[in-house]
Amino acid sequence: MRGVSIPVGFMPLVDAAPLIVAQEMGFAAEEGLTLALRKAPSWSSLRDMLSFGQVDAAHMLSPVPVATALGLGGAGMPLSVLSVLSVNGNVIGVSAPLADALRAMGHDFAFGDAEAAGQALIGAAASRLRIGVPFPFSMHAELLYYWLTALGLPAPQNVDIRTVPPPLMADAIRAGEIDAFCVGEPWGSIAVDQGHGALLLPGKAIWSFAPEKVLAVRSDWAGAEAGLSGRLIRAVWRASRWLARPESRALTAELLARSDYLNIPAEVIDRALTGMLTISPGGVLRSVPDFVEFHKGAAGFPWRSQGSWIAMQLASRTGLDRSRAKAAGAEVFRSDLYRAALKETEADLPGASAKLEGANAQAQEVASQSGTLILPRDRFFDGRFFDPAEDF
Amino acid sequence: MSGVLSIIVVEADRDRALQIVDSLRLAGDFDIQVIAEPTSLARQIQARQPDVVLIDIENPSRDILEELALASGPMDRPVAMFVDRTEEGLSTAAIEAGISAYVVDGMKPDRLKPVLDAAIARFRMFQRMRTELAETKKALEERKVIDRAKGMIMKARGVGEDEAYALLRRTAMDQNKRMADVAQALVTAAGLLS
């Protein structure tokens, strides 16, 4: 069965897995869909391909649809988030000279303590830190701003955050254009393998439940093609459930490694999937359980409060009206469409559509359709949290 | 924003860059500069203060230019990705041809149109050439593998060239496969067994 073909854009990253698996493992076909997957050369190209209709759905950085709703960046068509494709999955790395300086100061590269690592990084910087991120509107940039500002280094005012496309991150650090980076896997591991840097921290050490990539569509498409968008949500949800099985991992790495997709050795991709990262060219290993999450703890659920959190961060940096931004961000994350699409499936969905962001010190049971849904630990490293009901 | 329009073309390939510059010159009197080096692209562009930046959509460095769209300091020139709301289709045509244009905010579409028209035509040609090149390469590789498979059949079965080719073609038809795929399978299998 071929069914309806939907052109879908993606960037060659580990967290494009739910879309690739949906197509390759037949979950799209079960819904009568063929995902015509198109690899994009850059995030701005992918956003434009989506805005101008070259693709109908896209693997997208979670802040991009929110930024578009707030009129920031290359203004385009309004976008809607149908589901969250992945939670966490970024790494922060430093150049070889900076890694040496950190070691000389006695930093242990324990790879879990965001406060210790951040203080060490700020202390080791000889001059104004230059940090590479893949895109101005990205969870990478948001995590860095949050982390450094909380540690007393106001960002972006007192650091240079520079845009470096992920495949060029290793080159930029080797050339000495940046001192550190925050990037999605496998690109951090590739910088390590090429001997140009060391990994300092997984993104989840800063925020343990950060919505990283989303499934984005044009809002008018979501309205006109309610049937198709529902089928797409279900196909991706089943793909994420398959991804959550440990026995799927080896095949996932092989699928993603193909030249049509990431075109990178399966072994390097496997590191993100297992959470067993090589953090230095010398081969030091660190284990990060649930380094990237596709499914567990309702990972795919597009919480209205996630959209609000992102909007609030963008608004406070750009001087936009905060309460208006909060509402606009919430509207972008379409928990209503997600709920409607998964109503008749085995998916257990939370009763609420917004939550406190960063307020779960440990996994917690919440009210759901079957009453058994467990939300995982969701914590900012400094213990603050975001209440979407609060007035700003 | 009066006088001669200044344009920066971001293109690493020298021949392509020259061709783009030539087509732009035919379209009007512009001040054109080429940047080949992606290093510190944003700073280079900021230093030169162009009215328009043209970049291949396939170029991953394009994301760097998004930073320019955010520049807000008093010394910075606001730059926006060109999204024409007045003439529906021009930016879609640009994206389909594989080009992105960044322009200083507020520039009138009639000043930009000749630039984009010329660039779009040139980029369409590049795209055709890219496809043709890929197709030719594929055809050549397929012929090479078919020749190799043919040679192996001739040697193994002691038949002539025509007969070996016919056998290959018949097998492909019987299995409903392309001849190049059958030939590739044979070559791979032979490699494993030898």
Residue identified by tokens 């009007």 is B28
Percent above pLDDT 70 for chain A: 98
Q: Quick one: average pLDDT of A169-176?
A: 92
Q: Quick one: average pLDDT of A4-16?
A: 96
Distance from CA of B156 to the nearest CA of A (A): 34
Question: How far is residue B125 from each of residues A372, B21, B93, B118, B119, measured CA to CA in Å?
Answer: 59, 14, 13, 11, 10
Q: Which residues of B touch A167 (CB under 8 A)?
A: 60
The CA-CA-CA angle for residues A56, A59, A60, to 5°, reads 105
Task: State how far the Cα of B97 lies from the Cα of A8, in Å rounded to an integer.
Answer: 19
Q: Quick one: average pLDDT of A103-118?
A: 95
Percent above pLDDT 70 for chain B: 84
Q: Which amino acid is at A198?
A: A
CB pairs under 8 A between A and B: 74
**Main-chain dihedrals φ then ψ at residue B65, nearest 5 degrees:** -70, -20
Both structure tokens of B163: 């007969």
For A269-319, the DSSP string reads: HHHHHHTEEE-STT--EEE-TTSEESSTTTTT---HHHHHHHHHHHHHHHT
Per-residue pLDDT, A381 = 96
Mutate to test the interface with B, among A39, A44, A64 (most CBs of B within 10 A): A44
B134-193 belongs to CATH 2.60.40.2250:
no
- Whether this model's ipTM surpasses 0.90 comes out as no
Report the residue from A45, A136, A167 with minimal CB separation from B70.
Answer: A136
Short-list A132, A107, A137, CA closest to A119: A107
Closest chain A residue to B88, measured at CA:
A52
Q: Are A201 and A114 in contact (CB under 8 A)?
A: yes
Q: Does B13 lie at the interface with A, CB-CB under 8 angstroms?
A: no
Show which of residues 31-50 on chain A sit within 8 Å of chain B, judged by CB atoms.
41-45, 48-49
Q: Which residues of A touch B83 (CB under 8 A)?
A: 51, 74-76
More confident residue, A364 or A38: A38
Residues A324-345: pLDDT tens digits? Answer: 999 999 999 999 999 999 998 9
Cβ contact (<8 Å) for B70 and A73?
yes
Both structure tokens of B20: 């783009």
For A210-219, B44-53, B176-185, which range has the lowest pLDDT when averaged over its residues? B44-53
Task: State how far the Cα of A45 lies from the Cα of A63, in Å rounded to an integer.
Answer: 16
Question: How far is residue B27 from each of residues A246, B7, B124, measured CA to CA in Å?
Answer: 59, 13, 16
Domain spans of chain B, in order of start: 5-132, 134-193
Task: State how far the Cα of A373 lies from the Cα of A116, in Å rounded to an integer.
Answer: 33
Q: Are A54 and B96 in contact (CB under 8 A)?
A: yes
Mutate to test the interface with B, among A48, A50, A177 (most CBs of B within 10 A): A48
Residue B124 pLDDT class (50, 70, 90 cuts): confident
Q: Does B81 lie at the interface with A, CB-CB under 8 angstroms?
A: yes
Residue B88 pLDDT class (50, 70, 90 cuts): low
- CATH, domain range B5-132: 3.40.190
For A196-205, B23-32, B103-112, which range has the lowest pLDDT when averaged over its residues? B103-112
Task: State how far the Cα of A133 lies from the Cα of A187, in Å rounded to an integer.
Answer: 11
Q: What is the pTM of this model?
A: 0.84
**For chain A, which domains are there?**
4-86+212-261+294-348 (3.40.190.10), 90-209+276-292 (3.40.190.10)
Residues B127-170: pLDDT tens digits? Answer: 788 888 888 888 898 999 999 999 999 999 999 999 999 999 99
Average of per-residue pLDDT values in chain B: 81
Report the residue from B39, B61, B80 with minimal CB separation from A177.
Answer: B39
Task: State how far the Cα of A136 lies from the Cα of A115, in Å rounded to an integer.
Answer: 24
Per-residue pLDDT, B76 = 45
Q: Which residues of A touch B95 (CB under 8 A)?
A: 48-49, 52, 54
Per-residue pLDDT, B72 = 45
Residues 6+ apart with CB under 8 A from A249: A270, A273, A274
- Over 70: is that where the pLDDT of B70 sits? no
Burial state string for A284-309 with b = 16 or more CB within 10 A and e = fewer than 16:
eebebebbbbbbbbbbbbbbbbbbbb
Residues A248-299: pLDDT tens digits? Answer: 999 999 999 999 999 999 999 999 999 999 999 888 999 999 999 999 999 9
Q: Quick one: average pLDDT of A286-313?
A: 96
Output the CA torsion sign for B42, B47, B50, B51.
positive
Cβ contact (<8 Å) for B39 and A44?
no
Show which of residues 44-63 on chain B sit within 8 Å of chain A, judged by CB atoms.
57-63
